[in-house]
Amino acid sequence: MDNKIIIVGAGLCGSLLALRMAMKGYSVVMYERRPDMRKSRVNAGRSINLALSDRGLLALELAGIKDDILPPSFRCTVV
Ligand SMILES: Cc1cc2nc3c(=O)[nH]c(=O)nc-3n(C[C@H](O)[C@H](O)[C@H](O)COP(=O)(O)OP(=O)(O)OC[C@H]3O[C@@H](n4cnc5c(N)ncnc54)[C@H](O)[C@@H]3O)c2cc1C
């Protein structure tokens, strides 16, 4: 079986899919049209709040990083 996977788009879904497929032993190649923000200057200097729903928490759990991400976060409550 060919175990190579190509994913176009390194957004939230593409990145999670790439990680999960790599964890399952697939060889993953990703294509992203935007430059790597770790290597180039991008217009992303603003800070925003990031809200996590149940499915977001499940994604973190599947990726094995939920326990690393949750401690510095806080629960949103509606009063
Ligand atoms: C200001 C803002 C705040 C948000 N806050 C939250 C939040 O707090 N919590 C939350 O859960 N969601 C939030 N969202 C929504 C969340 O960002 C999206 O639901 C999520 O990014 C969708 O993931 P995606 O992988 O489908 O798409 P995207 O994240 O948009 O990723 C798609 C990627 O594909 C790339 N791409 C597209 N076409 C091509 C191509 N032809 N070739 C190569 N690459 C390509 C794009 O450059 C992009 O990087 C927010 C969105 C915005 C705009």
pLDDT of residue 44: 62
- Local confidence band at 76 (pLDDT 50, 70, 90 cut-offs): confident
Q: Which residue has the tokens 């991400």?
A: 69
* Distance between CA atoms of residues 20 and 39, nearest Å: 24
pTM for this entry: 0.85
Whether ligand 1 lies within 6 angstroms of the CB of 9 is answered as yes
Ligand 1 atom closest to residue 13's alpha carbon, by position in its atom list: 25
Whether ligand 1 lies within 6 angstroms of the CB of 32 is answered as yes
Ligand 1 atom closest to residue 53's alpha carbon, by position in its atom list: 11
Report whether pLDDT(35) > 90.
no
pLDDT single digits (tens) 41-57: 877 667 778 888 999 99
Q: What residue owns the CA closest to ligand 1's atom 19?
A: 12
Beta-carbon count within 10 A of 67 CB: 9
Average pLDDT over the chain reads: 88
